[in-house]
Amino acid sequence: MNHVAPSPFDPSVPQVAALPAPLVARTVAVDPTDLPDDLLRLLPASGGLSWVRRGDGLVAWGEVARVRTDGSTRFADAERAWREASSHAVVRDEVRLPGSGLVAFGSFAFSDLSPAGGVLVVPSVVVGRRGESAWVTTITAGAVTAPTAELLNVQDDPVSPGEVRTRDGALDASGWRAAVSAAVERIRAGQVDKVVLARDVVATTTEPLDPRWVLRRLAADYPSCWTFSVDGLVGATPELLVRSEKGLVTSRVLAGTIQRTGDDDADLARAALLAHSSKDLEEHEYAVASLSRALEPFCSSTNVPETPFVLHLPNVLHLATDVNGVLAEPGTHPTSLALAEALHPTAAVAGTPTPAAVALIDELELMDRGRYAGPVGWLGADGDGEWGIGLRSAALDPDDPHRLRLFAGCGIVAASMPEAELAESEAKLEPMRHALRS
């Protein structure tokens, strides 16, 4: 049975700053053994949504409605629409786990100025798994629909995109090195302490791209990352912006990177170098301090480890810190989307001080990031949810199924070297490049 989902630009799907009322969600438990090991095998060829890590998470398809927002109020407008819809929703949930019941998937632009804006998508079917529990949710506008076993059918395998050609995006290698040099000069002049510069690469596929080809590759190669697909943004992010669950919040900060060699002994030595690198530790400290300051007003207590750990990914090693907190007023606390707005953009994707860093990004990158490095994830009717940072990602072209933009960014501090930062960006582009290969 094929799941037919409307296009993101289907005029039959509401795309206004409000959601239809009442939304009706019904969640039933299913036997986890009835689900494939890879939840992504349930997704249709188009219109699929995902948030999956180590085999657990959510996949969804179909649309009941979507909210599109713009500008500096894109988060607040989307949250207002979600709160209003949730307050009138009819939810029958026999599972009652994070991700069951009424949920929406979201993706938001990095910049207030980006025409990409923000979106919340309410799917018609959600399949979830968390440990030994699994469930199916159906969502409609005003009618009750019982989930059926047919919704768990495994779909046909995606077709290879064929030969993939790439070209420079806004800046070629020489231009990007020059941008890094200019950023270092501004830092040494005291205008900013750190700035994160990104670059894009345009990829063209021989065959129309089936997003599932990329998603399955990413999930298999990077199981410790959150593999996501929301409204044409696909990727596998290692960075959790915020998780809010029953009054507890968690955020994972990544800043400071070194490329792996493929030799285990050599990589252990490189991990030790990274853990003691003054340049990388400085970059990481800015990112952790930025996030902790943004989270503090919402929490009665926070736990910030004194030293980072080294996160091992197949292509790179990162300095990482997990920050945890307890929300100040459980029961009346902000939604996960409101927390994501408060934390975005972190120093890990913008720099510090943030306003000056964002202004320098606009000046030096010469491109619109779109939703790259913006929050991407999901939230439930109770406001809890998970939001990652849209890294290690690509934006699909809605007008050309053969075309997509790949992104990677690097944190620049006073000690940064343009050639080394270019090599780091190439390492960060590798996950998406590899996921596209036949």
User: Can 194 be counted among the known catalytic residues?
Assistant: yes
SS3 190: coil
What integer pLDDT is reported at residue 17 of this predicted model? 56
Give CA–CA dist 135/144, Å, rounded: 17
pTM above 0.75? yes
pLDDT at 14 over 50: no
What integer pLDDT is reported at residue 342 of this predicted model? 94
Which residues share a beta bridge with 197? 410
**pLDDT tens track for 228-260:** 999 999 999 999 999 999 999 999 988 888 888
**pLDDT tens track for 339-391:** 999 999 988 899 999 999 999 999 999 999 999 999 999 999 999 999 999 99
Mean pLDDT across 140-162 = 83
- Secondary structure E strands in 150-281: 164-168, 194-205, 226-230, 233-237, 240-245, 248-259
Residue 356 burial by Cβ neighbours in a 10 Å radius (0-12, 13-18, 19+):
middle
SS3 93: strand
Mean pLDDT across 165-171 = 96
User: Among residues 79, 239, 283, 341, which one is catalytic?
Assistant: 239
What integer pLDDT is reported at residue 11 of this predicted model? 37
What integer pLDDT is reported at residue 144 of this predicted model? 67
Mean pLDDT across 85-105 = 96
What integer pLDDT is reported at residue 18 of this predicted model? 67
What integer pLDDT is reported at residue 149 of this predicted model? 62
Give CA–CA dist 63/7, Å, rounded: 9
User: Can 279 be counted among the known catalytic residues?
Assistant: no
The CA-atom distances, in angstroms, between 263 and each of 80, 228, 256, 314 are 50, 29, 20, 11
What integer pLDDT is reported at residue 175 of this predicted model? 97
Name the percent of the chain lying above pLDDT 90: 76
Quick one: pLDDT band at residue 3, thresholds 50, 70, 90? Answer: very low
Give CA–CA dist 51/34, Å, rounded: 19
Give CA–CA dist 389/116, Å, rounded: 15
Higher-confidence residue: 261 or 182? 182
What integer pLDDT is reported at residue 259 of this predicted model? 85
Give CA–CA dist 151/42, Å, rounded: 8
Mean pLDDT across 288-314 = 90
User: Among residues 79, 194, 341, 386, which one is catalytic?
Assistant: 194
